[in-house]
Amino acid sequence: MSQSEADLDTLVEHLKRNRGFDFTGYKRASLERRVAKRMQGLNMATFAEYLDHLEVHPEEFVILFNTILINVTAFFRDPSTWDVVAGTIIPELLARHQPGLPIRVWSAGCASGEEAYTLAMLFAEAMGAEPFREHVKIYATDVDEEALGKARQAAYTEREIEGVPPELLEKYFERVDGRFVFQKDIRRQVIFGRHDLIQDAPISRVDLLTCRNTLMYFNAETQARILSRLQFALNDNGVLVLGRAETLMTHANAFTPLDVKRRISRRLPTNAPSRRERLIQLAQAPVDDTRPKDIGLPLRTAALDAVPTAQILVDAAGTLALANERARSLFGLGATDIGSPIQDLKISYRPVELRGAIETVMADGKPVVFRDVEWSFAGDPRWFEVHVSPLIDVTGVPLGASVAFHDVTVAKRLHGQLEHSNQELETAYEELQSTNEELETTNEELQSTVEELETTNEELQSTNEELETMNEELQSTNEELQTMNDEIRLRSDDLNHANAFLESILESLSGAVVVIDTELMVLVWNDGASELWGLREGEVRGKNILGLDIGLQIEQLKAPIRACLNGTHAQAIVPLDAVNRRGRAVRCIVTVTPLKTRSQSILGAILLMEAEQSVASDGDGNGNGDGSRFSHQAAPPATKKR
């Protein structure tokens, strides 16, 4: 055994031990090819390498399983077989059917269900839909769960239903989302289940069993084992349909052929004689009994001498009474031997032990036959069939025994040659059969590869189409984004423009302008504010106005600001004494106005601060506020109620 064969054995053993699936009964060459196919897909060169991969990737088992089990099938596959099933087998079965009993059909190795649904359509056509639903059960089994899943869905593509005649397609299928779905009512009578033909007990009391294009994947020994189970499954007179490359092999005796070409056979009833038994019965059929007429002794002696069969007669006392010419020459018997006790003569034990047989024959009155007795005559080996028969007179009194030596040498030699030729023929037939099966499996593998390629092609095409659509979608999204971008850019320009415009307004105002939000955080602080209070915008933006350290008692503004923010005042004018950034006392008029949107919701407040000459003179009389006293006492605010 080569290393590669040993590795494949180890792999098969691994699958058996770890996955409970036994591939040892499958044809080796096919198995090897299928595993190698999968390995090729993974870029692996040896079975050992693949086994390592299997051990690490348990999900690989399903893929391998799918590669090994070839699910090629079709509706009405091999149409002439279905013509016979529809035209002869089903009508006969229905004619024999006993009312009250179900009609049980089994599609073994049903793959994706096409064969089972073909059977359903034929039975429904023959019986009518209602009686079909009432009486027929179709069991459809396979070891491949995935194929069974597809079968249960009963939805097929346009290509898959090609074999269905148009009128049946119209009647039994419904088009749903581009698929052809088998009619539910009829579908219900088809029961799918996982069943391993090698290991599981067969379904029983089956009237019609189809096991097509499945046996051929197994080696001869496994095929014989499966056939025994199928034979057991069938009722007496049940019908078995095999694939066109499959035969009954060793089980031919249990079946009688109905259509040899289409491999359709009927199981013989259990108590019916086998073919061999029937042949024996035929050979032993009674023939006309033409009894010899009473003729004179010399005539009888002469007649006895004339026959080419050696014959001796022994009387009731055990004495050699007569030996014909052929016996005398063959066994060297002389005239002196006549009248001698038979046990004293060589012929009594050579070429075959006759003494006991003669005694038995005389005692029981029943003949004894010795077959294949060899005797060399003049150095030439010859074979005899020795018949020891009782001789009884007309009144039933035993007279003695006749020993006839029928020379079967020619027949024996012919038989030997025939057997040899037969064996050669059988070997040639087996080789032919196995070549035929091999061709069929290769054909199925090819078909499956073609289907796989077609599927891959379709998948590629669909992936391509998907990519195309994705590309188009991306292109359109891109265009949308570009438009949005343009819009954003335009808006941004507008905003910049508006901002610049606002900024220039703010900066053009002579007073200080401060804008705060509803949380009192500074949003805008214009140059006027920086000029007045000495803080730059960067120092105050985002800070609470009440916390700013400037020469203004901002606390005094808290109430008017709140009043504007909560909408109770439309404006508040608050005069406050303050100190500007140069430390001079100023009188500051703060006008607080709410900041509103167009819809009048309040976003914050605008504080306009205008500094005037301080009320308290600093004494230098120039009135510019330098050195003036600063009063922190705020004047009461002037407010406008809403």
Ligand X SMILES: C[S@@+](CC[C@H](N)C(=O)[O-])C[C@H]1O[C@@H](n2cnc3c(N)ncnc32)[C@H](O)[C@@H]1O
Q: Which residues of this protein are in contact with ligand X, per CB under 6 A?
A: 69-73, 77, 109-111, 115, 142-144, 147, 195-198, 212-214, 217, 243, 444
Residue with Cβ nearer ligand X (77 or 187) = 77
**Shortest approach of ligand X to residue 431 CB, angstroms?**
23
**Shortest approach of ligand X to residue 115 CB, angstroms?**
5
**Shortest approach of ligand X to residue 205 CB, angstroms?**
20
**Shortest approach of ligand X to residue 238 CB, angstroms?**
18
**Shortest approach of ligand X to residue 175 CB, angstroms?**
24
**Shortest approach of ligand X to residue 445 CB, angstroms?**
10
Q: Which residue is nearest to ligand X (CB)?
A: 73
User: Which among 449, 514, 382, 441 has a CA at the least distance from the CA of 216?
Assistant: 441
Residue with Cβ nearer ligand X (77 or 587) = 77
Between CA 292 and CA 303, with CA 297 as vertex, the angle to 5 degrees is 60
Separation CA 556–CA 550 (nearest Å): 13
Find out whether the peptide bond into 351 is cis, omega within 30 degrees of 0: yes
Residue with Cβ nearer ligand X (196 or 620) = 196
Residue with Cβ nearer ligand X (213 or 580) = 213
**Shortest approach of ligand X to residue 225 CB, angstroms?**
11
Separation CA 223–CA 197 (nearest Å): 10
Handedness of CA 28, 34, 35, 39 (dihedral sign): positive
Separation CA 148–CA 193 (nearest Å): 7
Structure letter (DSSP) for residue 615: S
Q: Which residues contact 41 (CB under 8 A, 6 or more apart)?
A: none
Residue with Cβ nearer ligand X (134 or 454) = 454
* Beta-sheet pairing, 320-323 with 179-182: unpaired
**Crossing angle, helix 3-19 and helix 28-41, to 10 degrees?**
90
**Shortest approach of ligand X to residue 284 CB, angstroms?**
43
In the three-class reduction of DSSP (H, G, I as helix; E, B as strand; rest coil), residue 183 is classed as coil
Burial of 463 (0-12, 13-18, 19+ CB in 10 A): exposed
**Shortest approach of ligand X to residue 442 CB, angstroms?**
12
**Shortest approach of ligand X to residue 103 CB, angstroms?**
20
Residue whose structure tokens are 């909408």:
567
In the three-class reduction of DSSP (H, G, I as helix; E, B as strand; rest coil), residue 372 is classed as strand
Residue with Cβ nearer ligand X (21 or 370) = 21
Residue with Cβ nearer ligand X (147 or 358) = 147
Cβ proximity of 208 and 105 under 8 Å: yes
Cβ proximity of 107 and 210 under 8 Å: yes
Name the H helices within 42-78: 47-56, 60-68
**Shortest approach of ligand X to residue 476 CB, angstroms?**
46
User: Which among 539, 538, 522 has a CA at the least distance from the CA of 609?
Assistant: 522
Residue with Cβ nearer ligand X (151 or 168) = 151
**Shortest approach of ligand X to residue 243 CB, angstroms?**
6
Tell me the DSSP string of 185-251: HHHTTEEEEE--TTTSPPP-SEEEEEE-SSGGGB-HHHHHHHHHHHHHHEEEEEEEEE-TT---GGG
Residue with Cβ nearer ligand X (150 or 382) = 150
**Shortest approach of ligand X to residue 109 CB, angstroms?**
3
**Shortest approach of ligand X to residue 444 CB, angstroms?**
5
For 397, list phi and psi in degrees, rounded to 5.
-80, 130
Task: State how far the alpha carbon of 620 is from the alpha carbons of 576, 581, 588, 629, in Å.
Answer: 22, 19, 20, 11
Separation CA 114–CA 169 (nearest Å): 13
Residue whose structure tokens are 């088009």:
175
* Beta-sheet pairing, 512-517 with 522-525: antiparallel
What is the CA 131 to chain-centroid distance, rounded? 32
- Element holding 399 (H helix, E strand): strand 398-407
Residue with Cβ nearer ligand X (20 or 298) = 20
Residue with Cβ nearer ligand X (24 or 309) = 24
Structure letter (DSSP) for residue 302: H
Separation CA 498–CA 49 (nearest Å): 73
In the three-class reduction of DSSP (H, G, I as helix; E, B as strand; rest coil), residue 111 is classed as coil
Residue with Cβ nearer ligand X (55 or 196) = 196
